[in-house]
Structure formats: C-alpha cells, structure tokens
A and B are shown apart, each in its own frame.
Chain A
Amino acid sequence: MELTSVADLVTRARAGDQAAWDDLVARYLGMVHAICRGWRLGVDDAADVNQVVWLRLVEHLDRIRSPEAVGGWIAATTRNECLRVVRASGRVVLTGEDGDLDVIDGGDAGIDAGLLVYERDRALLAAFDRLGDRCQRLLRLMATDPPPSYDEIAAALDMPVGSIGPTRGRCLEQLRRLLA
C-alpha cells in the first residue's frame, strides 16, 4: 500500500468512512500484534493494548498532521502502551542497543511450538525463541503481512532507520547459526 493511499484512508476515516477505517485496521493490525507479542505481554494485557491503540487513534485522527505517517504514530503508540504495561507489572525494561541482540540461553518459549506439525518449523521457532528480545521484535515485525515501512519499524522499536537493515542482517545470521 502506497503512502498516498494511507493518507487517503486517514482522510476518509476522518470524514466518518467506516470502510476506510477497516482498511487502516487491515493495514496495521498485524503490526500492532507483532509489537505486543515482541514485548511478551499476557493475553489480556495484549488485547487491552490493541484496544487502547485503536481507541486513541480514533481520538487522534483529526490531529494527525501527516496522515501518511499514521503508521508511525500507531507503532509508537503501541510501543508506549506496551512499555506502560511492562512497567506496571514491575518487569525490568532493557533498552540497550546491542546487548539485547545476544542469544538467550534456555530462553522462555513465548511460542507454543507444540501446535506445529512440522519439525522444521518447530526447530526454526525454537531457534527464534533463543534470539535476544531486540532481534525477536525486529524479525517479528518485519514478518508482518503487510510488512511495515522502515519508518514504522523505527517508531515501533525506537531505533534509527539506518540501523534496521544491518541489524536485521545480523539477527538473521544469528538465527541461522542457532539452526546449524
């Protein structure tokens, strides 16, 4: 979806067009989900964050200065809501640039791989679960359909646009090493 069409959806949604709103939801719901899962929120907390993000967007729709950048606003708002939940739960939030790229030994399986039929998928997801949080968040986001733009990823992860590509490359290499 081109940026201009996203801006058009925002403009139409402002005018009360439910279909345009539904298209915005279709465009960005996967991204919101990926961000929430990346922060390992509980089922109820994650559902609340999803709900609040969309409710806040409704409130904010008339005040968005750059409608084409609505995805970045959604990404940043989702991240902030996730951080609010994480902090309220007393969990420590690490914000290091490189430290949380490290592999997690014996990492907590955030994914129920037991549901999978295929051994190869099971192995891939087990390796993914051993990646550091930052790698997991980035790869999960970039696996979203449709994929977010680099600007949206930058807003979601609070990282410079220029480091997204190289970091993704390092994370995929790390994933492959874990699979070897």
Chain B
Amino acid sequence: MTDTAAPWPRGDALAADLGRALGLVDPVPDAWRDAATAAFSWAAVDAAAARLEYDARGLRGRRAHDHGLPGTEVREVRYVAGGVAVALQLDLGADKLRLLGRIDPARRATLVLAWPEGRWDGESDDDGTFRADELPRRPFCVVVDGARPVKSGWIVP
C-alpha cells in the first residue's frame, strides 16, 4: 500500500487499517507474554494470603533515628494473616531496594522474597527481624515459612 492519494475508508474499514498499522509498529513484546505466563507459578505457593494492613510512603531524613540517605524514599508496609504480622521497611533506590523486616510475634523463620525473575532465601533472627540488601526494584512478595506459611501480596516498590 503506497498510494497515499487514495481516499481513506470510513468506519470499520478505517478501524481495520488502523489496527493493522498499530500491530506493525507497536506489537506486544514477547517479554510480556513470558512474564504473564510465568506468573502462574505463583499459584503453586501453598501459603495463607496475608491482608495488607498498612502502607505508607515518605522521604528520608524526617526522623531523628533515621540513618538512611537523606532525600531517598522509604516505604513501610504491614501484612497480617491469622495471628502473624509481617512489617516491612523498603529503602528505595533508583533501581535497587533494601528491605528491613520484622515478624510478629517474634520468631526465627525461613523466608523467601520472590520476584518474577528470581528469589532471595534467608531467615529471621530470634527477634523476628531480617534484612535483605541490593534487591532489584521489582514487584516482589514475601513468604514466611512455618507450620502455617504466610505470603504477602505483590508489593510494587
């Protein structure tokens, strides 16, 4: 189709031309299909889904005990499921994040931080606290193992 002088169609025919042109120049990236397909594996994680109880964002440097880099973003979220709460503090860099967490009631537990392309395995100490540095700034979730495993929802940092 190279004749730009031909009259343009109307209605459905014009919409069809537009759909074809958009499909040529702006196709769905293959990586999107891969990500969508891979998301299904999350369904296999057998853990109670925790409820988001608290979610707040702010800038660093507003509190006396805050020793992070001033001006960077910090986010605090808290999930609860049954009698277990998981509090998270996210220190957000441009493309990385640091995670400080605490399980309440405090206990030593195996933890998985999962994001679509990877995972971090660790554990909390006797005080229920845990820390993960240099995580990619990607959507992630937290799974706390135990007699009744708990998983957070997906957190978009």
Contacts and interface: CB of A to CB of B under 8 A. Distances in A.
Interface stretch (B39-47, B82-90, B105-113, B120-128): B39-47
A78 to B, nearest CB: 12
Interface residues on A, range: 35 or more
Question: Which applies to chain B's interface (DSSP): helix, strand, loop or mixed?
Answer: helix
B147 interface: no
B18 A124 contact: yes
Interface stretch (A48-56, A94-102, A149-157): A48-56
Interface in B1-30: 1-4, 6, 8, 10-11, 14-15, 17-26, 28-29
Given A50-B35, A124-B18, A59 B153 contact: yes
Contacts of B22: 111, 125, 128, 140, 143
Interface residues of B, number: 40
B32 A29 contact: yes
Nearest to A13: B40
A51 B39 contact: yes
B21 A125 contact: yes
B156 interface: yes
A55 B154 contact: yes
Interface stretch (A1-9, A17-25, A65-73): A17-25
B156 A124 contact: no
Given A18-B40, A143-B22, A123 B33 contact: no
Interface string A124-151: 1100100000000001101111000000
15 contacts: A25-B36, A37-B26, A50-B32, A50-B36, A52-B154, A56-B153, A56-B154, A116-B25, A120-B3, A123-B4, A143-B15, A143-B19, A172-B11, A172-B15, A175-B18
